[in-house]
Amino acid sequence: MQDWLIHFWNHLHTAAGLLETIQTGGLILLFIIIFSETGLLIGFFLPGDSLLVTAGVLTIQNGNRPALFDPWLLTALLIVAAILGNQLGWWLGNKYGHRVADRPDTWLIKKKHLNAARVYFSENGASSLLLARFIPILRTFVPFAAGMGEMKFSHFLKYNIIGACLWIGSLIWIGHFIGGTTLADELHKVILIVVFISFLPIIWKVAKNFLANFNRNP
C-alpha cells in the first residue's frame, strides 16, 4: 500500500503524469481528487494547485490538441467538490478531532501537520479558511482544525464557499488562458512556478519567525 501511494505521488507530481491522469480519469477522477485533498486527512499529498492549472489548460483547443472539458462545467463541478470536501473536514474535526490529536503519529498522518493547521487557524481566524485554500497541506488540515475549534457551521460554510470559488476559479481559468498559448507546450515549467508560488506564504512565515527569533536573541 505504501509503495503504491509513493508511486502514485510521483506520478501526479510530473507534468506528463498529471496530463495522463486527467485525460484517463476525466471529471470523475478530478472531483474525487479535489474532494479527497480538501476533506480527508490522508489527501494532503495530492497536488491540487498543479492539477487545477493542468485541467484548465485542457479546457481550450491548441493546435492538434482538442479541448477536453468545458471550462464552466469544470469550474462548477470542482467548486462543489472543494466545498463538500471542506465541510467533511470540518465535520470530522468537530466529531473526532480530539481523538486524532491524542493518537500517536502514523506513517501517513503526522501531528505536526495538524498542529501547524491549528496554529494557522488560531492566528488568522476565519480568514485562514480563505488563505489556506492556496497553501498545500494546510488546505487539508485547516478545516479539520476549524471543526476542532468548534467554529459555527454557518460561519464556516460561508468562508468555505468563498474560498472554494476563489481557489478553483482562479487556477482553472489561469490554466485556461495558458492553454491557448505556447506555454501549454512547457507545462512542466508552469507547474513549477505554480508550486513555488503556492509555497511562498509558508516560506514567508518561516522567514518572519526566524527574523523575530533572531532579533530577540541577537
pLDDT tens digits, 155-187: 899 999 999 999 999 999 999 999 888 888 787
Residue 67: CA atoms inside 13 Å, Cβ hemisphere, count? Answer: 16
pTM: 0.82
C-alpha cell at 35: 474532494
Q: Is the pLDDT of residue 215 over 70?
A: no
At 50-90, the pLDDT tens digits run: 889 989 999 998 888 888 899 999 999 999 999 999 999 99
Cell of 46: 495530492
- Residues 91-138 have pLDDT tens digits of 999 898 878 777 777 666 777 778 878 787 777 777 888 888 988 888
List the chain domain ranges. Answer: 2-216
Q: Phi first, then psi: give them for residue 52, nearest 5 degrees.
A: -65, -45
Which letter does DSSP use for residue 152 in this model?
-
Give 133-151 as a DSSP string: GGSTTHHHHHHHHHHHTT-
In contact, 75 and 169? CB cutoff 8 Å: yes
Q: Tell me, what's the pLDDT at 56?
A: 92
Q: Is the pLDDT at 210 greater than 90, yes or no?
A: no
In the predicted structure, residue 214 carries a pLDDT above the cut 50 = no
Q: How many Å apart are CA 207 and CA 209, to the nearest integer?
A: 5
